[in-house]
Amino acid sequence: MTRPLNEQICFTLYATSMAITRAYKPLLDELGLTYPQYLVLSVLGENNNLTIGGVAARLDLESSTVTPLVKRLEAAGLVARRRGVEDERKVEVTMTKAGQALLDRSGCLGDLLMERSGMDGEALGALNARIQALRSEIVKG
């Protein structure tokens, strides 16, 4: 017999992810970003010189999914793309000053999550670490 959805961790994680994305949406709309675009900028905020493949790997996505996101961010002046110097088949992505300024303005997303969750930074950090450990074990499979 199948367990009810609320007893399945896969559904709980999915529904929680959707709830967070919905909570972020009004703030991201103000910034003119979609959630996936925000994630690309966040990756570049960690390391501001990656290939499309590097961004895709960090987000656990396919390059073909990341390429249109990066093209839209480039059209908005938030990132720049260029062919690799050593390997022209690779496309390197860097965040522009405008992209960095927008990412800096998005810092309120973490504050919103703490406010809505009723947890402090330490509790959210601990929960995040446990979920990352779960993901790591599942990926090892």
- Spell out the SS3 assignment of 31-42: HCCCHHHHHHHH
* pTM of the model as a whole: 0.89
pLDDT at 86: 79
Question: Hey, which residues does 93 pair with through a beta bridge?
Answer: 50, 81
Give every strand in the sheet of 91-95, ordered side by side: 50-51, 91-95, 79-83
Phi, psi of 91 (to 5 degrees): -105, 120
pLDDT along the chain (141 residues), means of 10: 90 94 94 95 94 95 96 97 84 95 89 89 93 93 76
Q: Where are the domains of the chain?
A: 32-106
Residue range 32-106 forms a domain whose CATH class is mainly alpha
